Amino acid sequence: MRTIISSFVIVLLLSLAGYAVPRYAAQYNQACHLCHVDPSGGGARTLYGAQFFAYTELAVQETPFEEIGKIQPMLNDQIQIGFDARTQFYGEEYSESNSFLQMQGDVYLAFRLSDQWLFYLDKGLYSNFEVWGSGHILPANGYIKVGHFTPPYGLRLADHKVFVREKLGMQYGWQESGMEIGFHPEIFSGAVAVTNGSTQLIDANEGKAVTARADVRLPVGGAFLWLGATGRYNETTDIEDIIGGGYGALTFGPVTIMGEADYREMGNTASLIGFGQATMKIRRGVTAKLEYNFYDPDIDYESGAETMVVVGCEVVPTGFLELIPNIRYHDFDNINIDSFYEAELQLHIFF
């Protein structure tokens, strides 16, 4: 295992890059829907995101405009296609194992029925899928969305191992059926969704989940500030699940600091979850990352907390390819569980 970790350290030192898509919103002072079809972010990219942004702002080697014109996500005037595939090789010191894992394999279809109406299909690996229709028919650049989708909670990070996604059960594959309403008036963004509160196709109980978030983006001197609040109430058959938190980011020059903190009450148990990340853009397509995660499953007990520190990197050599090596160090405030290292190398192909 130490040989594997040493190899990844060499890769990290040679590569020097970072990983977390929501940081682009902070870096460029733009809402997520500039580059994504879904107004809440994530999933299929808009024409701007798929053609221009990926091949110019993200990639080490900028593609000439005449070559960008050959990249055509539009099958015709109404139908756009896209995909994301993430394959990962990882090794874990704790279990003394290593394996290949196909983390993601999503194909997107967006049917533009008119200037206001859209039908969206995302078929992922295993049982993961999204299917919804949306209409930008409300004031203040507002929309309504109905179908099966990921509710709008916190930072929609692509890394499913960060604690603010994993410990809350909001990893890849978290989708629920229901309705969402959102607004994007200039520097503000907000959305609220009423869903079944379960990833099952049919949630037969009478309780429903309400998930919401709202944020603002502000220029502060030569920096960009992004501040948001988020919450979720889920009334299940046996217990109430209440989550609330805040998130934000600050970008100054090549440095972006981003984080999220959440408080959860489930029955008689209260827990705390935190995430913080600092990235530095070394050059176009090359960014360094340092990350800290914290999880206390029950704040009434002095022991039992878990932390994870990540040193990672992201290299985008061209507009459709991304290399992401990470080293994770897990530490536990529990005498029965030893700390351990985990190393991974991820290949991300996207369109």
pLDDT tens for 119-133 read 999 999 988 999 999
Using the CB atoms, write b or e for 294-307: b if 16+ within 10 Å: bbbeeeeeeebbbb
- Bigger pLDDT: 284 or 6? 284
pLDDT of residue 15: 33
Q: So what's the architecture of 2-350 in CATH?
A: Beta Barrel (2.40)
pLDDT value of position 149: 95
CB-CB contact of 259 with 274 (8 Å): yes
pTM of the model: 0.88
d(CA 340, CA 336): 13
Round to whole Å and give the CA distance between 345 and 116.
40
Note the pLDDT of residue 201: 77
pLDDT of amino acid 206: 79
Give the pLDDT of residue 68. Answer: 83
pLDDT: which is higher, 57 or 332: 332
Mean pLDDT of 109-128: 94
Report pLDDT for 341: 96
Nearest C-alpha neighbor of 116 from the set 103, 133, 92: 133
What is the pLDDT, as a whole number, of residue 13?
35
Which of 24, 26, 76, 347 minimizes the C-alpha distance to 217?
26
Q: Per residue in 56-84, pLDDT tens?
A: 888 898 888 888 888 889 999 999 999 99
pLDDT at 12: 36
Tell me what pLDDT residue 160 has.
87
* Mean confidence (pLDDT) of the chain: 88
Using alpha carbons, select from 44, 185, 175, 190 the residue that is nearest to residue 118: 44
For residue range 259-268, list pLDDT tens digits in order. 999 999 998 9
Q: Which are the contacts of 164, defined by CB distance < 8 A and separation ≥ 6?
A: 154, 155, 157, 170, 245, 260, 262, 273, 274, 275, 293
Give me the pLDDT at residue 30, please. 65
pLDDT value at residue 207: 84
Give the side-chain half-sphere CA count within 13 A for 35: 21
299-308: long-range pairs with CB below 8 Å, 24+: 299/270, 299/271, 299/272, 300/269, 300/270, 303/333, 303/334, 304/333, 304/334, 305/332, 305/333, 306/163, 306/330, 306/331, 306/332, 306/333, 307/331, 307/332, 308/161, 308/163
- Residue 28: pLDDT band (50, 70, 90) is low
The answer to whether the CB of 133 falls within 8 A of the CB of 119 is yes
Residue 4: the pLDDT is 38
pLDDT reported for residue 140: 92
Which one is predicted more confidently, 53 or 249? 249
CB-CB neighbours of 253 under 10 Å: 9
Task: Give the rounded percent of residues in the chain with a pLDDT score beyond 90.
Answer: 64
Q: Which two tokens stand for residue 330?
A: 């897990």
> Is residue 33 helix, strand or coil?
helix
- Give the residue extent of every domain in the chain: 2-350
- Would you place residue 24 in the very low, low, confident or very high pLDDT band (cuts 50, 70, 90)? low
